[in-house]
Structure 1
């Protein structure tokens, strides 16, 4: 986009959506008015603007990107003049046309180094329109006359009855009058080569050969022989010429010639080009029909692209033709896009009843992949047809598209039904939170009870975010076990002993109502433990509230309160194995090795004596571990001796057990540098082998 302000400052924008303004050099004496200006650009599609040409009376300045100042251009204009009225650059940016106030039209290159010609137009006033016809000629519009000026200096006037308008295109000029729509275009080179009088071009010979072949004349062979050395180019020319022609009869004639010539050669690339051109010709002939009235040239439609062509047909509501073209050209997702737009248009028609409109849309789009019924339903909702939107949403298979729109339409229960049917928990949560916000409390609870999955997820949500709401749900459902669970969770989270005890009492009462004796017993034990923990906390100044029985006993053992710990163990029936493990670990942690030895002899260990060894080794007390190694189980005694680093003793035990494998294991674990031990172990192995 090129912009020139009232203060004659110039700017360029490459993208309107994300504007990035680039300025060009300012004109000298910028406050003086300018008489005309134009933009120089390169290319035909996605053209890049490179600068401005600005006229002030007789002066022409070129303001280009990347330059520090405007450059004064000096065109070679032979005829006298005082002012340049109009200035136009060609679409490819290579040519410029200047019209002076003396009526002369100057044609030359955009760098003003080359002059093509100067033409006396016979008009000393500014034309209504002055545009380029492609890049080969300039077309002027004066009053009721259109004049075409060529680079050779010739002028071709065309008078019109009544007003008309000229529209420049990339390869031609459109002339729109009150009753006609005409195209003015330079005859393409390939067409000129074929149809020129006495043409000796290969394409011309091939065309004549095709005509003679259709007449069943032997002269077809003579023409083919003439063109055979250059047959590929001849076929290519006929295909290209057919693409430029507007007459279906001429197109057929050229395509037949190309097909005839193609039969004598094998060229996959040429065949592909032939097929594509034939397809596009059928499309072009269809859209050039007066009922459609989109007279595009082959170059224009190639430049626009198939998707833009589809869009033009769609916005003209020519859905049937657009659908056929999309299928014929095999445009990816083209047919889907056409039908989606058709459906969106269909729902805006007020004369169609909801039932028939929804049924027709559903039947038409049933087997079409990629159609978003949610988009169509949204369009219907925008037009105030809520019931139609709901009916269309029934066809939507993607719950993530269907459910949010149902919520927006106020169909909460239906949205919840679809969400639960999809099995998508995130979607169910979305609906639940929306309904909770929009509905009353009683209505919400009644609604979700009909959906087991939603109800379960709501309970899970409340368990994590709103325990009080969860408790109310359990109360309404007379779920005493659930109520007890919430009270127990409250007790766990409490730091105040009184509050924790109260919560446990509430949990106990709930279990009583639910006739759960085990729950009652556990809650009562937990309440008593909580009370004792409160007393211990006051006595020792340590935090006991919230600890488990295991952690409470452990803490008492760390504090040296063995009798109190033993009392708690007995009162709450802590398993002996767990208690012994705790005592062993705590005594080792406190480095009370004598007490550990006494404890091991107190009575037979329910956990064995391996934990004693492990506890000693954990604190690097191998000598203490040696006390308990003889009492380890026979099947693992050797391994524990090795683990403690007593290799000779391990070997002796293995020897006494007559276990060669164990002796070999000890030998492999014994460090090589311990040569004396290695020798003794080897001797035991040899001695055991001799006994056998």
Structure 2
């Protein structure tokens, strides 16, 4: 165990260790002139951006635009690009590993780790006018978002709390601030963002709404450096007297005070996790605990410190180390003379491998606490970087599980999986050195996303398959395909075939998303080829429309059978194309033309006429004119449309329809004349209703004229006339009409119309004239059931007898009579 604890140093009751992460690669060593470079390293083992900054050694402006180099944590070069924009003030990484570059004019430019420009936003016009002299890129541990705060030349602060939704706000003014503050930092909690700054011996806390002057307990001297813990809960202040004061970030409680005996401002003041403050001077690293304990490390080279949630990365030209508090489980197993159950299980495992009987003795000692011993070894394995140490601890945990009757293997399996994933990401070719705590906070899904963005598709896919994360596989393949689309050395056909062979027909793959990427970089032919592989027309069609592949979009929408999609395409085409070209194109697509006609009937009738005119379809044009005529409010326009309809029916050789249309037009003319003369509304009525209303209105001669002009059949005219006279209540005229000549409809309708208006007396006048076979029914209607029964018996009509029997079932005498009649008829 000596090799495990050899680099441990006690800090009060805990230990700290400095672990070598990577022997940095040659390219990093060439560029890492740390005193002359501006360095930004992302947390969670993220990438490192390095830029030569001549202002760190000279006040003269840079001779030329600087190069920005981006490396992995292992020093592996990822990309570099020449800075061609304005004067840079600061660079830093967002929580999604985007490089944020803050310019002097207040513009913030965003790049990915390959130096590809993603976008920009501004800190506001005032920041532009007064120029930015300092900036901080901060992380909100609650929301997981990143923001930017800038200090302008007139000593005002402006904040963007979330770079994904940049909205600049001005912080409250600090009274009397006429020169740059001694030091300042940003505190972001929940939805609130504060700036803490010091000027001389006064400390201020500001947000967009207020400025508060804060007194510090026993903090003599002026604060010249400050550092905020990773979780934003603690803050360390370094004074010009060489003292370090540690407070809660709300400054309500003092946690520690320590004298460094050095009035020289440290090059960096950072936190190691949340339990210790680290001050760095040239070649010296001082770790200070909350109980005034300290550890001193000597460094051979210049270094740059990167705070992590559970430790500190130390970047040097030839090596990168990780300083952290030794986790409790690791300390419990490996510290000297430990009697923890995990330590004894670890020793038992080692003795068992030596085939020593001491293994049994150790197991007996911890028999009652064996589950905790297994758990301790398992969790300690997760805290280690060195694979051999991980294996020995897992071996001990596995050995202990052999003595447990109800051991659940899931925790052991999960830890083995986690370690394999961690070790794969930690490998120097990838360069993401995550601790178990960091991985749990980050999540495997986010790690896969970061691997995807680094174009480590194979590793991301292997992890996804290993952990059975099927949702991640489609994202990996899609990102790979989008990258292939950007390769200019390959032809469109080669790229499309390569993507198809790799992605296949998996339903989770969106070829439309890949095609959209091709369209964005103006490779429309490639986009069309990729869209041919997309099985969902709803995904194909919108992109085809944006690429102006109109006919392809229409064809795909028709093939899908989705009428809503076809309508969407048609409406888009109508807006983009000349109407003549649009209508001509529809002639090649009957299904689309049919849907367009349906749309026009409801929304654009005139367009429908244009379409029929284009196709010389006079029959349908006439139908459109007929429909339009009924929608007109003036009679003149109705007649004009009818005249046009008649002409088109004639041209289509539909003589019957043409004649009907002409008669309708004549009817409207006639109705208009009657209205003008008699001041009664007739326009719009049918021939039948017109004649009916004329009779009711006391204009029987005009009704006769209508009958002759429009050839109303006699039977129909008799029906409408007796009904109209009944409505009018002219029963005498009805009687005269019945005697004018033989009725073509018989006399039963006269009875019906009289009874309809409760005129029983008038109805009886026509009973004798009703045809013999219908007299029984008429008597039933009049309630003359005895007479009706006699007539039905004479006519031998059993149905009428049954009807009377149903009506008069309560009249025993009549019912008996009818039963006898039915019996006589049955004997015949």
Question: In the alignment, which of 213, 217, 231 is matched to residue 75 of structure 1?
Answer: 217
**What displacement does 1:61 show?**
5.6
Q: Higher relative contact order by CA 8 Å / sep ≥ 6: 1 or 2? A: 2
**What displacement does 1:187 show?**
0.5
TM-score of the aligned structures, taking structure 1 as reference length? 0.81
Query: Cα distance 1:165–1:597, how it changes in 2: closer, same or farther (>3 A)?
Result: farther
Q: What is residue 231 of structure 1 aligned with on the other side? A: 370
Matched, 1:408 2:546: yes
Assess if the C-alpha contact under 8 Å between 1:64 and 1:70 holds in 2. no
**What displacement does 1:228 show?**
2.8
Matched, 1:35 2:182: yes
Aligned to 1:538, the other structure's residue is in SS state: helix
Take 1:232 and 1:607, find their aligned partners in 2: how far apart are those partners?
105
Query: Cα distance 1:529–1:36, how it changes in 2: closer, same or farther (>3 A)?
Result: same
**What displacement does 1:493 show?**
4.2
Over aligned residues, Cα RMSD in angstroms? 4.3
Q: What is residue 299 of structure 1 aligned with on the other side? A: 437
Q: What is residue 339 of structure 1 aligned with on the other side? A: 477
Q: What is residue 258 of structure 1 aligned with on the other side? A: 397
**What displacement does 1:319 show?**
1.5
Take 2:481 and 2:340, find their aligned partners in 1: how far apart are those partners?
52
Q: What is residue 528 of structure 1 aligned with on the other side? A: 666
Q: What is residue 50 of structure 2 aligned with on the other side? A: none
Question: In the alignment, which of 517, 522, 532 is matched to residue 384 of structure 1?
Answer: 522
Take 2:218 and 2:637, find their aligned partners in 1: how far apart are those partners?
102
Matched, 1:282 2:282: no
**What displacement does 1:292 show?**
0.5
Assess if the C-alpha contact under 8 Å between 2:777 and 2:788 holds in 1. no
Take 2:399 and 2:774, find their aligned partners in 1: how far apart are those partners?
100
Aligned to 1:295, the other structure's residue is in SS state: coil
Matched, 1:91 2:230: yes
Whichever structure has more strand as a proportion of its residues is 2
Aligned to 1:82, the other structure's residue is in SS state: coil
Take 2:776 and 2:385, find their aligned partners in 1: how far apart are those partners?
101
Task: Map 1:543-622 onto structure 2 (within 5 A).
Answer: 543-569=681-707, 571-574=709-712, 582-583=720-721, 586-587=724-725, 589-592=727-730, 603=743, 604=745, 608=749, 612=753, 615-616=756-757
Take 1:179 and 1:308, find their aligned partners in 2: how far apart are those partners?
29
- Deviations, residues 610-650 of structure 1 (Å, cap 9, x unaligned): 86377437xxx898889999989799889978xxxx8xx78
Q: What is residue 454 of structure 1 aligned with on the other side? A: 592
**What displacement does 1:60 show?**
4.5
Aligned to 2:292, the other structure's residue is in SS state: coil
Matched, 1:308 2:460: no
TM-score of the aligned structures, taking structure 2 as reference length? 0.69
Query: Cα distance 1:281–1:576, how it changes in 2: closer, same or farther (>3 A)?
Result: farther
- Deviates further, 274-283 or 490-499: 490-499
**What displacement does 1:198 show?**
2.2
- Deviations, residues 511-561 of structure 1 (Å, cap 9, x unaligned): 344333322332333233233233323323344444332443343244233
**What displacement does 1:302 show?**
1.6
Assess if the C-alpha contact under 8 Å between 1:415 and 1:431 holds in 2. yes
Take 2:394 and 2:755, find their aligned partners in 1: how far apart are those partners?
95
Question: In the alignment, which of 168, 191, 201 is matched to residue 340 of structure 2?
Answer: 201
Structure 1 residue ranges without an equivalent (≥5)? 668-679
- Deviates further, 147-156 or 624-633: 624-633
Question: In the alignment, which of 339, 345, 360 is matched to residue 498 of structure 2?
Answer: 360
- Deviations, residues 88-141 of structure 1 (Å, cap 9, x unaligned): 332345543222212122345557676555433242122121111111111112
- Deviates further, 539-548 or 345-354: 539-548
Q: What is residue 372 of structure 1 aligned with on the other side? A: 510
**What displacement does 1:488 show?**
2.8
Matched, 1:182 2:321: yes
**What displacement does 1:600 show?**
7.7
Take 2:383 and 2:600, find their aligned partners in 1: how far apart are those partners?
72
Assess if the C-alpha contact under 8 Å between 1:651 and 1:681 holds in 2. no
Q: What is residue 240 of structure 2 aligned with on the other side? A: 101
Whichever structure has more helix as a proportion of its residues is 1
Q: What is residue 67 of structure 2 aligned with on the other side? A: none
Aligned to 1:102, the other structure's residue is in SS state: coil
Assess if the C-alpha contact under 8 Å between 1:139 and 1:147 holds in 2. yes
Take 1:201 and 1:610, find their aligned partners in 2: how far apart are those partners?
115
Query: Cα distance 1:36–1:683, how it changes in 2: closer, same or farther (>3 A)?
Result: farther
Assess if the C-alpha contact under 8 Å between 2:202 and 2:213 holds in 1. no
Structure 2 residue ranges without an equivalent (≥5)? 1-146, 793-799, 824-828
Q: What is residue 674 of structure 1 aligned with on the other side? A: none
**What displacement does 1:582 show?**
4.7
Q: What is residue 286 of structure 2 aligned with on the other side? A: 147
Take 2:786 and 2:367, find their aligned partners in 1: how far apart are those partners?
101
Take 1:636 and 1:225, find their aligned partners in 2: how far apart are those partners?
113
Aligned to 2:270, the other structure's residue is in SS state: strand
**What displacement does 1:203 show?**
1.8
Query: Cα distance 1:606–1:684, how it changes in 2: closer, same or farther (>3 A)?
Result: closer
Assess if the C-alpha contact under 8 Å between 2:767 and 2:775 holds in 1. no
